[in-house]
A = this chain, B = another copy of it.
Amino acid sequence: MDNKAISKAVINRLPRYYRYLGQLLDQGIERISSGELSRRMNVTASQIRQDLNLFGGFGQQGYGYNVAHLYEEIGKILGLDRSYSLIVIGAGKLGQAISSYFGFEKRGFKIEAMFDRDPDKYGGVSYRGTRIHPLSDLQEYLHDHVIDIAVLAIPADPARTITPILVDGGVRGIWNFAHTDLEVPDNVVVQSVHLSESLMQLSYKINH
């Protein structure tokens, strides 16, 4: 598999395949044709065949796709065959919402600790029992723990200030909810969820 050949668009579609295949598994469906998957997912069958062929083509002529096998293979491609240690920066409403969502842990994303600069929050625990540390302990915490992913659920200015601490602390990925872009070296990945921008896209589409 040539990683360079996989476009960003395909990568963006993979989690959706994974979701639909998971639903098929839950429904006890063992195999599916590209035509039927196409109908359910509302994309063309040729798109599906083209996307999945990139990963070695798991379909068999006249049989279709083995759902469990395809689910597992896409899971591996997405890196879901291993687990990840996470910390959440910001124990406000959004940080609490993220850390209380059970679905992430099921997929192997384990939230180890939360951090906040507000003395009313640190020292306590989150809704799910994750300990909330003072933000000033972040550097030391990262020195003592191997953390794969940091979730930034804080405003733009502190997000930019904290990013170098995360990078120096060995974090490999930043899941960024702050309304800003972040500068990181090439070996660190930033995946942003810009909620305001999503809402603006919605208002654009309502008006056009």
Contacts and interface: CB of A to CB of B under 8 A. Distances in A.
Report whether over half of chain A's contact residues are helix, strand or loop; otherwise say mixed. helix
Interface in A183-197: 189, 191, 193-197
A175 B189 contact: no
Interface residues of A, number: 52
B97 A93 contact: yes
Contact of A197 (B19, B79, B96, B205): B19
Interface of A: 3, 11-12, 14-16, 18-19, 42, 77-80, 84, 92-94, 96-98, 100-101, 103-104, 107, 109, 127, 148-149, 172-173, 175, 179, 181, 189, 191, 193-208
26 contacts: A15-B197, A15-B200, A18-B200, A19-B196, A19-B197, A78-B203, A79-B207, A80-B203, A84-B203, A84-B206, A93-B97, A94-B97, A94-B101, A96-B97, A97-B97, A98-B195, A103-B179, A104-B196, A107-B196, A109-B199, A173-B203, A173-B206, A189-B206, A191-B202, A191-B205, A193-B193
